[in-house]
Structure 1
């Protein structure tokens, strides 16, 4: 069976790992009884990890025609004669609305119905929660026919226990003493501010990312201090929208990460430091930022995994960054096991 990439925006990517079968349709009957049979709807729905009844119903809603999926026979029928190309176009719209993450575009999402009867998509890659437009006709059908829950009650209890343990660790770790805060200010902040000021002046000139490496090399300070200052200059006061800003400025991040050996880990450490001082809105998007770095070959998987392992076992393990990064780490591990 011929396969294609999931999502029209990924159609030209030869190495894209998410595939689905190309749609096959068949016109049946004649006159008023004519119907279009989507022959391989079950296989398509399985690739999208969505019930075939959802896609079939979506076709009916969009075409203003009756549609029905037979669970016993696996037959998907839409009243009327419809071209394969037209139905394939509607399927792409369904994927954008009900499959792909609104944050990173990944199709590994789970439909979750909230207590207030709203439909959201939880991304397994970046952890982003997308809010589905409840004005869409299909949402009524989904609320009446909710998807099967992936997590058992045991899994949920285990997650709650883990969350309680994390909160206990946060209480034990406590905050820095006033003396430590003053010492940190005296030793590092003033030098950091000077570097940040130089970075901002350089970036405001409109200098290209290709010129950044030579500029960074001209600065005095350790690689970590320079990278910390760069992130502060690039994303100062950024809250919600941190991931979008990272996508816009990815060329600067790529240039900094390629400056010398070891700079990938330095960049990850700077992201950790930045998130420690940033708003919670920015911290919530850190998984999306990491996925941008990973997808654009700025930071390799081995460095991300090493950084994460050190973080969750180190002195900063109580930081909320690790909870927000965890879905992306799990996605990386699952992707690796799938490849094997």
Structure 2
């Protein structure tokens, strides 16, 4: 079955994850009874997560013809002879109006019907709630025939938990069966041991008479020792203190100081990043107080210097070396770059970031912790008096995630640190939560598949 990306704006993206089957139509009947049968309407509707009756009814409303969808047979019919290209264009309009998020364009949305009989689309990626134009004819049909309620995330988690418990119980039962099977084998081997020794002695004949077979008591002792060894579970203390103690015992006092454990390096890196983050937060007010000769702070100087080079049209490749030559910490440089890129922007931050992603790609490529620096720069920028930037933080995160500038692990780590940190009361975490939840749910669903 041929597949295509959902949404005409994503048709050129070879790695787009949301796909649907290409439409297949068939003309049936003659004269006044001629009809167009959309053969794979059920598969298309399943890919769009919308009832097939909605799309069929939409075709009828737009073409001014009668349409019917049979729930039992899955047949979608529209009166009249219509080209596949024309119906595909109408399906594209349906996707824009009733499937894609009006904020980020993601097709993973859910139809909500309010108490006032208004239709809304709630995005699972960015959390944006889109208001559907109620002047469309299909809205009346949707209100009268609302979609079936999906199982909530709590139900899904309960099912997963029950499945894991069932698997654990099955594994425990298998282990008990294995132990029961091993016990009779051991007893049989201990009983047959002396007999086998005697039989080999008989078969050996006169040539083996000079050799002495081990007495029966020794054979029994060996078998008992083997059984005891099977019951013993050997364990090695793998803690950090035990590893250090073993190194000190094996090496001399001179060489032991030269050995560095990988865990120490990770701890030092984590402490260094935490110190850099704390220093950037603590140093920011002190830096602002230390005014230079021209009356502006060093952080403002960084922003102005980056802004001037961006206005001159510096390339992304040259930007990387330019950022490395700037004074200040890596976090301060990233803060200055992000603020300079969004200079003068009051709304539509995600669109601006998508257009200027090449500069951020050059900055992120500088080191392992560059993605965390970028996330903290977003946090710093949203901390300023700009409510629009805070509201659009989920859209910005999704734009950077789709552009492969941010990885899921770093986003989740940044979010968890922020929620548990001193800035946990900021509204940025509330607005970023729907996107983080979507990332984690998408990962769990992919693991189940």
Q: What's the TM-score bracket when you normalise by the shorter of the two chains? A: 0.7 to 0.9
The equivalent position to 1:252 in structure 2, one of 352, 359, 362, is 359
Q: For residue 383 of structure 2, give the secondary structure of its aligned residue in structure 1.
A: helix
The equivalent position to 1:243 in structure 2, one of 337, 350, 355, is 350
- Aligned residue in 2 for 1:185: 285
Q: For residue 277 of structure 1, give the secondary structure of its aligned residue in structure 2.
A: coil
In 1, distance between residues paired with 2:311 and 2:15? 37
Q: In 2 relative to 1, CA 280–85 (structure 1 residues): closer, same or farther, beyond 3 Å? A: same
What is the alpha-carbon root mean square deviation over aligned residues?
A: 2.5
**1:275 pairs with 2:375:** no
User: Contact conserved, 1:27 with 1:34, CA < 8 A, in 2?
Assistant: yes
User: Contact conserved, 1:287 with 1:325, CA < 8 A, in 2?
Assistant: yes
Q: In 2 relative to 1, CA 335–153 (structure 1 residues): closer, same or farther, beyond 3 Å? A: closer
Q: For residue 26 of structure 1, give the secondary structure of its aligned residue in structure 2.
A: strand
Q: In 2 relative to 1, CA 75–152 (structure 1 residues): closer, same or farther, beyond 3 Å? A: same
**1:215 pairs with 2:322:** yes
In 1, distance between residues paired with 2:58 and 2:113? 18
Q: For residue 149 of structure 1, give the secondary structure of its aligned residue in structure 2.
A: coil
The equivalent position to 1:287 in structure 2, one of 390, 394, 401, is 394
Superposed CA offset, 1:12-66 (max 9, x none): 4333222222222222222212111212212211110111111001111111111
In 1, distance between residues paired with 2:135 and 2:414? 42
- Aligned residue in 2 for 1:336: 443
Which one has more relative contact order, counting CA pairs under 8 Å at least 6 apart?
1
Superposed CA offset, 1:301-335 (max 9, x none): 22112112212222222221112112221222232
In 2, distance between residues paired with 1:125 and 1:150? 17
Q: For residue 271 of structure 1, give the secondary structure of its aligned residue in structure 2.
A: helix
**1:304 pairs with 2:404:** no
- Aligned residue in 2 for 1:15: 15
- Aligned residue in 1 for 2:202: none
- Aligned residue in 1 for 2:5: 5
Structure 1 residue 182: deviation in Å?
11
Q: In 2 relative to 1, CA 21–265 (structure 1 residues): closer, same or farther, beyond 3 Å? A: same
**1:98 pairs with 2:198:** no
Structure 1 residue 212: deviation in Å?
1.3
List structure 1 segments (4+ residues) > 6 angstroms apart after TM superposition. Answer: 151-155
- Aligned residue in 2 for 1:121: 121
- Aligned residue in 1 for 2:46: 46
Structure 1 residue 151: deviation in Å?
6.3
Superposed CA offset, 1:104-133 (max 9, x none): 222101122344443332211122233333
Structure 1 residue 140: deviation in Å?
2.7
Q: Which has the higher mean CA deviation after the structures are superposed, 266-275 or 75-84?
A: 75-84
User: Contact conserved, 1:239 with 1:280, CA < 8 A, in 2?
Assistant: no
- Aligned residue in 2 for 1:34: 34
TM-score by length of 2: 0.65
- Aligned residue in 2 for 1:73: 73
- Aligned residue in 1 for 2:135: 135
Segments of 5+ residues of structure 2 without an aligned counterpart are 156-280, 290-296
In 2, distance between residues paired with 1:308 and 1:315? 13
